[in-house]
Chain A
Amino acid sequence: MRSETAGDVVRAKEMDETVSEFFRRTILKIPLTEMMTILKTWNFLSENQLQTVNFRQRKESLVQDLVLLCEENRASLNDAALLDIIYTQFHRHQKVWDVFQMSKGPGEDTDLFDMEQFKSSFKKILKRALKNVTVSFRDAEENAVWIRIAWGTQYGKPNQYKPAYVVYYSQTPYAFTSSSQLKSNLPLLGQTFETHNSTTPLQERSLGLDINMDSRIIHENKTEKERVQRVTQEIFGDYPQPRLEFAQYKLETKFKSDLNGGILAEREEPLRCLVKFSSPHLLEALKSLAPAGIADAPLSPLLTCIPNKGMNYFKIRDK
């Protein structure tokens, strides 16, 4: 324990103010319904401390109480960064992620991966390149690590409110990044990863219905079922779809019919029609249509183009 000089005390107080403001704003972001879960996951405030807080009061007062508790525990910037990571993990679907695939350079060996070594050298490399940067780590499932990076400049302290996130699955060559800022720092991240490659292929996960657990049940259309599964997998992939809640199609087309004539067929004006699909998870619902036998595979490209085009409002007109 070193003796504190007056200067130190003043500096410590200053740091606390920006840190406690960071705490305040981070905790304020958390919806009340998730507050307990996130605080417990964070595991920084003890059970006893949490019990002293009234979670039913107005949010601003609740946040104030929690920040006071953090100060009591002498929370550091790192603790706040960790809380921010946890918040982001809970709200990962609200961010836009880019995927990077790393490739092995010629002649490089496959090293055995050590997580702790990776973390320490990652931090070292970043700090060497840019002095003012906050780097925090949190381990996650399946050999993954969440990295939070708050960027500063040569003379300015890191901006904690626009961090970048990198999620790296160590047994794979893939890293996911999300940034709240300009992507000017990406090349730096890329360089940082150069020493840590892995050519282990991704575990294959297949979406397979359990066909036939009882041998007394025979599926006559097995080939067709397999075709549907294959087509669905080709279009939608193996992994969960992005979460989308609705898609809207505005049609302005002339009436087309296989039957000859009819009143509508002679109509010059296009018909106007609005079709809206809504669901708690629209793309997963569309993905399950053909396997469930509700629609034929492949589905209409109007439905399957949604992730590719990044659109969910469509106007369909005659050519």
Chain B
Amino acid sequence: MSVLRPLDKLPGLNTATILLVGTEDVLLQQLAEAMLKEDCTSELKVHLAKSLPLPSNVNRPRIDLIVFVVNLHSKHSLRNVEESLHHVDAAFFLGKVSFLATGAGRESHCSIHRNTVMKLAHTYRSPLLFCDLEIEDFRATMAQRLVRMLQICAGHVPSVSALNLLSLLQNSENPSLEDL
């Protein structure tokens, strides 16, 4: 199974699984720990991967949300995400994929322009979040946000689906995408 599909497995009882994809292991690990600190009625699972495709022959739960983490300081991390995107089924992009860009705060270290990731997110019709994951407080806030998004994507929030969330996010956050 080299392509990730959103509905190819049955969900676990009250379980919500997020997959964080990115080259920078330390940041992903810290974000994962921050998410697990949150009080949440759902049982959370965080999978960390450097890139896609994921190793096959592994028993893993259904993935409810994929977050691709790009470090604006590293072209390597962007390229890695771009290549990994090819292994995700189109159905995931109906609200179950999000992009997260880190490192925007230290502009002198950025080798990737903000517009590049904005364009990438726009191409895949998915929301783009900015957060300097190295800073604990920002990371904690982002973790809260991701937990909430994850719960929605896993269907644990009544009356809100991943698709609802997607249209909400796209209208309010990216008004000027047409200008790109």
Q: Judging by beta carbons under 8 Å apart, are B50 and A218 in contact?
A: no
Q: Judging by beta carbons under 8 Å apart, are B25 and A292 in contact?
A: yes
Q: Judging by beta carbons under 8 Å apart, are B45 and A218 in contact?
A: yes
Known: A221-B55, A225-B25. A214 touches B33 (CB 8 A): yes
Give the Cβ gap from B20 to chain A, nearest Cβ, in Å: 9
Interface string of B8-28 (1 = CB under 8 A from A): 000000000001001111100
Task: Other than A217-B48, A220-B55, A294-B24, give 10 A-B pairs with Cβ distance below 8 A.
Answer: A214-B33, A216-B45, A217-B47, A218-B60, A220-B19, A220-B54, A221-B48, A221-B51, A293-B24, A295-B76
Q: Cβ of B55: which chain A residues have Cβ within 8 Å of it?
A: 220-221, 223
Q: Judging by beta carbons under 8 Å apart, are B26 and A292 in contact?
A: yes
Interface string of B52-84 (1 = CB under 8 A from A): 001100101000000000000010110000000
- Please provide the 4 A-B residue pairs with the shortest distance between their CB atoms, ordered closest to farther: A220-B49, A293-B23, A293-B24, A221-B50
Q: Judging by beta carbons under 8 Å apart, are A292 and B33 in contact?
A: no
Instruction: Write the chain A residue with the least CB distance to B19.
Output: A220
Q: Cβ of A293: which chain B residues have Cβ within 8 Å of it?
A: 22-26, 50, 77
Indicate whether B29 reaches chain A with its CB closer than 8 angstroms: yes
Q: Cβ of A219: which chain B residues have Cβ within 8 Å of it?
A: 47-49
CA gap between A218 and B54 in the complex, in Å? 12
Partner of A216 from B26, B44, B54, B58 at Cβ < 8 Å: B44
CA gap between A225 and B48 in the complex, in Å? 11
How many B residues, CB 8 Å from partner? Answer: 25
**Residues 273-319 (chain A) with a chain B CB within 8 angstroms:** 291-295
CA gap between A292 and B28 in the complex, in Å? 11
Give the Cβ gap from A72 to chain B, nearest Cβ, in Å: 53
Q: Cβ of B23: which chain A residues have Cβ within 8 Å of it?
A: 293-294
Indicate whether A224 reaches chain B with its CB closer than 8 angstroms: yes
**Residues 179-221 (chain A) with a chain B CB within 8 angstroms:** 209, 214, 216-221
Indicate whether B104 reaches chain A with its CB closer than 8 angstroms: no
How many A residues, CB 8 Å from partner? Answer: 16
CB<8 Å pairs between A and B, sample of 22: A214-B32, A214-B36, A216-B44, A216-B45, A217-B29, A217-B33, A218-B45, A218-B46, A218-B47, A218-B48, A219-B49, A220-B19, A220-B48, A220-B49, A220-B58, A221-B49, A221-B50, A225-B25, A225-B50, A293-B23, A294-B23, A295-B76
Q: Judging by beta carbons under 8 Å apart, are B36 and A292 in contact?
A: no
Chain A interface, DSSP helix/strand/loop, else mixed:
loop
Partner of B74 from A209, A221, A294 at Cβ < 8 Å: A294
Chain A interface (Cβ < 8 Å from any Cβ of B):
209, 214, 216-221, 223-225, 291-295
A-B interface contact total, Cβ < 8 Å: 57
Q: Judging by beta carbons under 8 Å apart, are B32 and A217 in contact?
A: yes
Q: Cβ of B77: which chain A residues have Cβ within 8 Å of it?
A: 293
CA gap between A224 and B55 in the complex, in Å? 10
Instruction: Write the chain A residue with the least CB distance to B21.
Output: A220
Give the Cβ gap from B110 to chain A, nearest Cβ, in Å: 15
Interface-central residue, B19, B36, B44, B48, by most chain A CB under 10 Å: B48
Q: Cβ of B74: which chain A residues have Cβ within 8 Å of it?
A: 294
CA gap between A3 and B19 in the complex, in Å? 86
Known: A221-B55, A294-B76, A295-B76. A216 touches B46 (CB 8 A): yes
CA gap between A220 and B4 in the complex, in Å? 14
Give the Cβ gap from B105 to chain A, nearest Cβ, in Å: 18
Q: Judging by beta carbons under 8 Å apart, are B47 and A220 in contact?
A: yes
CA gap between A218 and B77 in the complex, in Å? 20
Give the Cβ gap from B22 to chain A, nearest Cβ, in Å: 8
Give the Cβ gap from A221 to chain B, nearest Cβ, in Å: 5
Instruction: Write the chain A residue with the least CB distance to B50.
Output: A221
Q: Cβ of A223: which chain B residues have Cβ within 8 Å of it?
A: 55
CA gap between A219 and B48 in the complex, in Å? 5
Q: Cβ of A291: which chain B residues have Cβ within 8 Å of it?
A: 25
Q: Cβ of A295: which chain B residues have Cβ within 8 Å of it?
A: 76
Give the Cβ gap from A297 to chain B, nearest Cβ, in Å: 12
Give the Cβ gap from B136 to chain A, nearest Cβ, in Å: 17
CA gap between A269 and B57 in the complex, in Å? 53
Give the Cβ gap from B79 to chain A, nearest Cβ, in Å: 11
CA gap between A295 and B24 in the complex, in Å? 10
Instruction: Write the chain B residue with the least CB distance to A212.
Output: B29
Q: Cβ of B33: which chain A residues have Cβ within 8 Å of it?
A: 214, 217
CA gap between A295 and B47 in the complex, in Å? 21
Give the Cβ gap from B21 to chain A, nearest Cβ, in Å: 9
Interface-central residue, A209, A218, A292, by most chain B CB under 10 Å: A218
CA gap between A291 and B23 in the complex, in Å? 10
CA gap between A297 and B55 in the complex, in Å? 19
CA gap between A172 and B25 in the complex, in Å? 36
